[in-house]
Amino acid sequence: MNTFKKMLIYLCVAAICLLCLIPFVILIILSLNTPQRVFYEGNMFLPDFYFQNFAEGWVKSNIGTAMINSMIITALAITIIIIFCSMAAYTIARFKYKFNTLIFAIMISCMMIPGIINTVPLYTLMIDLHAINTLWGMALVCATLALPQSTFIFHGFIKSLPRELEESAIIDGCSWFKSFWKIVFPLLKPASASIIILNGFGIWNNYAQAVFFLQDSKKHNVPQALSVYFQQFAGAKWNLMAATAVIAIVPVIAAFLLFQKNLIRGLTEGALKG
């Protein structure tokens, strides 16, 4: 590849990155403007650095409670996903039974079904479980919807691991269950990081199911709290809405920076070695 083609590729990548950053830059500028400021007047790229918007948005939007609710839902759902999906993937990858293969095929086929289609029967089930307006109920819903994809990722990663690791432990007296938790599970960190990023963001930003199962305002997650808050102003106070949105995305960005190193490795390890 010659120098001209390399420069062209770099320019295209830089242009795509800039296009992706433009909405965030506009959001930050709006969040730092005074209430009297009109965005298109004066220097659009130089904000007023009015940090009072963040304090006022935090109080009026009740975003703090919503963030705690989202954290509880996300943490509980991710814990369920990692524990149960890793065990299911290990069983399917290591024990080649027809029943396991059938179950895996059914789970993969479930990935083609949009989650919103199951809302009506799921709502009936949630009523029977008394799980409406409960954080644990919402966590179970999010975890259930993420099970097929997460099992698929774990399955590919476990297949790339040498079987001799567990067999040597079995010879030394370990059971298959104990060898999984002692030997295999600690090696699943890259795949777990990928699953945390892929599903964690979706659970944190879940609105389609939350609007049905979290109807109590005290149980609202971040998207619901932002939706209610934005409807109050109907576009009249862009500075407060932008500041609240910035507060809401800070945990998401922090989580991505924390787990990004293992994201690609966790997704491609099974494809490279399986």
Question: 39-52 pLDDT, tens per residue?
Answer: 556 666 777 788 88
Closest CA to 151 of 201, 190, 107, 99: 107
pTM: 0.83
pLDDT of res. 273? 47
Spatial contact of 81 and 146, defined as CB atoms under 8 Å apart: yes
Are 203 and 77 in contact by the 8 Å Cβ rule? The answer is yes
Share of the chain above pLDDT 90, in %: 17
137 vs 133: CA distance, rounded Å: 8
Name which of 19-33, 110-124, 153-167, 252-266 the model is least confident about. 252-266
Res. 269: pLDDT tops 70: no
What integer pLDDT is reported at residue 271 of this predicted model?
Answer: 46
Is residue 49 left, alpha or beta, with left meaning phi > 0 and alpha meaning psi from -120 to 50? left
Domain boundaries, the chain: 63-273
Tokens read off for 221:
């997650």
Of the ranges 52-61, 161-170, 263-272, which is most confident?
52-61
The fold adopted by the segment(s) 63-273 is MetI-like fold (1.10.3720)
Give the C-alpha distances (Å, rounded to integers) separating 162 from 94, 166, 195: 11, 8, 22
CB 271 within 8 A of CB 156: yes
The stretch 108-122 carries a mean pLDDT of 80
**pLDDT, position 228:** 85
At 274 the pLDDT is 43
What share of the chain has pLDDT > 70, as a percent?
A: 89
- At residue 139 the predicted structure's pLDDT band, cuts being 50, 70 and 90, is very high
Q: What is the pLDDT of residue 265?
A: 60
Torsion-angle region of residue 18: left (phi > 0), alpha (psi -120 to 50) or beta?
Answer: alpha
Counting Cα atoms < 13 Å in the Cβ hemisphere of 15 gives 6
C-alpha distances (whole Å) from 256 to each of 107, 201, 249, 262 are 27, 9, 11, 10
